[in-house]
Amino acid sequence: MSKALDGVRILDFTHVQSGPTCTQLLAWFGADVIKVERAGAGDITREQLRDIPDVDSLYFTMLNHNKRSVTIDTKNPEGKQVLEALIQKCDVLVENFAPGALDRMGFTWERIQELNPRMIVASVKGFGPGPYEDCKVYENVAQCAGGAASTTGFDDGPPVVTGAQIGDSGTGLHLALGIVTALYQRMQTGRGQRVLAAMQDGVLNLCRVKLRDQQRLERTGTMKEYPQYPNGMFGEAVPRAGNASGGGQPGWILKCKGWETDPNAYIYFITQAPVWAKICNVIGREEWATDPAYATPAARLPHLKDIFAEIERWTTTKTKFEAMQILNKYDIPCGPILSMKEIAEEPSLRKTGTIVEVDHPTRGKYLTVGNPIKLSDSPTEVKRSPLLGEHTDEVMAELGYSPEQISALRTAGAI
């Protein structure tokens, strides 16, 4: 079956996490992604957090599926010529070097345009234009600068970063959308363009509801769905909301049976207004359904803490899965706190290809997260990541280099 991005060729000049996430998605949709790496070393993640000596790390293998790898020294004059040939042949160049690195290599936007006016140049940077534009940025810096850390955690504790890689993988996802949009526009204009996704902007986009809350706070001085509400302890900025749900339906994380020894024996419980009477029945507090102090969402807000404590008295008598089963029968929104172990073993995720087992020539079998976006006419087949320089000869031949030229370039250290 054909793939959505068949025929699109990507010069993948990415490393670490943010850029590789983006190009991996494009590869899953069928683009030919040619990853250009530094000879001898490659993407630094190949050797980071290794669990098997001298074998590409899971960090690398899980971010670089379905790609080809070529090694080129892009600071060597002959290596530069190879890169130029690639630029002429590709549709998109994706990079996430430190600010200015591509220019220092001699590949300014103007130069790339000269070589290929249809080329789309897509970049991840830590910050957009402004005081921090020259900074190098990693995941947690972006989470802090984009508003996630100041709004995550509990009120009486420090800011907290989240396990979800919203700065890196989140920005890679934003960049991928920018690239396919630019490809679409190129169909009308015939021209390439620059695509920039700054990590601070990507995180802030995902924290949109918190900027909403900042303005609500400034206007009204309070936000009733926040745990701070009844005590009125609001400052000037959006506070950390613990596990309160972001929307208008109050929620909290509650202990389940076994919580004393299992750190993940918890459930997220939402007291959705339309099912309030059912919640009262399930937990054995039928009178709350009609009691004016509990019957309406507004009446419940000032004593949500006590309400959740009462619901927790019920959830601690059930495992998180038992609680799920019972609550789902009544359409009460809830979710188990799943550990990575439970997720890895979940059969339904294997069935949909969201968790995939991949075989690798030096690593053997490992689990990865497959494509979370399912297209009915462009199914994803997850293929292992390339070894360093595995496709150098193949790609060079496609660029028109003869075996003799390839061998001379190798001797010169260009590839």
3-state helix, strand, coil in the chain (%, to 5): 40, 15, 45
| Stretch 126-145 residues interacting with ligand COA (CB under 6 A) | 126, 136-138
398 is in an annotated binding site: no
Contact between residue 231 and residue 238 where contact means Cβ atoms under 8 Å apart: no
Q: How far is the CB of 13 from ligand COA (least distance, A)?
A: 7
**Binding-site member from 52, 88, 104, 296 for ligand COA (CB under 6 A):** 104
* 344 within 8 A of 355, measured Cβ to Cβ: yes
2 annotated ligand-binding residue: no
Checking DSSP bridges between strand 251-255 and strand 266-270, what pairing results, if any? antiparallel
Distance between CA atoms of residues 34 and 82, nearest Å: 13
Write the binding mask 26 to 65 for ligand COA: x where contact by CB under 6 A, - elsewhere.
----------xxx---------------------------
The string of DSSP letters for 248-312 reads SS-EEEEE-TTTTT-TT-EEEEE--GGGHHHHHHHHT-GGGGT-TTTSSHHHHGGGHHHHHHHHH
Contacts of 346 (CB under 8 A, 6+ apart): 338, 355
Q: Is 150 in the site for ligand COA (CB under 6 A)?
A: no
413 interacts with ligand COA by CB under 6 A:
no
Q: Which two tokens stand for residue 65?
A: 């599926």
What positions carry a catalytic annotation?
Answer: 168
- Helix (H), strand (E) at residue 317: none
Q: How many residues bind ligand COA (CB under 6 A)?
A: 24
Nearest to ligand COA of 16, 148 (CB atom): 16
Residue 28 C-beta: closest distance to ligand COA, Å: 19
Q: Residue 18 interacts with ligand COA (CB under 6 A)?
A: yes
The reply to whether 383 sits near ligand COA by the rule CB under 6 A is no
For ligand COA, the closer of residues 37 and 56 by Cβ is: 37
Q: Which of 384, 369, 371 is nearest to 26 (CA)?
A: 371
Shortest Å, Cβ 294 to ligand COA: 48
Q: 186 to each of 34, 178, 182, 193, 250, how far by Cα in Å?
A: 21, 12, 6, 8, 46
Distance between CA 222 and CA 403 in Å, rounded? 71
User: 136 a known binding residue?
Assistant: yes
CB of 374 to ligand COA, least distance (A): 26
Please tell me whether 363 is known to bind a ligand: no
Q: Which residues from 155-184 bind ligand COA, rule CB under 6 A?
A: 168
- Looking at the Cβ atoms of 177 and 309, the one nearer to ligand COA is 177
C-alpha dist (Å) from residue 213 to 142, 151, 170, 247 = 20, 10, 22, 10
- Separation CA 137–CA 135 (nearest Å): 6
* Binding of residue 97 to ligand COA (CB under 6 A): yes
Q: What is the DSSP string of 40-109?
A: TT-SGGGGTT-SSTTS--HHHHTT-TTEEEEE--TTSHHHHHHHHHHHHH-SEEEE-PSTTHHHHTT--H
Judge whether 414 is annotated as a binding position.
Answer: no
For residue 214, the minimal CB distance to ligand COA (Å) is 26
Identify which of residues 136 and 305 has a Cβ nearer to ligand COA in the complex.
136
Residue nearest to ligand COA (CB): 98
Any contact of residue 125 with ligand COA (CB under 6 A)? yes
Q: How far is the CB of 120 from ligand COA (least distance, A)?
A: 18
- 64 annotated to bind ligand: no
CA 310 to chain centre: 36
Options 25-33, 91-99, 178-186, 287-295: segment touching ligand COA (CB under 6 A): 91-99
Let me know if 304 is exposed, middle or buried by CB neighbors in 10 A (0-12, 13-18, 19+). Answer: buried
- Numbered residues of the known binding site: 17-18, 38, 96-98, 104, 136-139, 247-249
- Numbered residues of the known binding site for substrate: 247-249
- Numbered residues of the known binding site for CoA: 17-18, 38, 96-98, 104, 136-139
Residues near ligand COA (CB under 6 A): 16-19, 36-38, 72-75, 96-98, 101, 104-105, 124-126, 136-138, 168
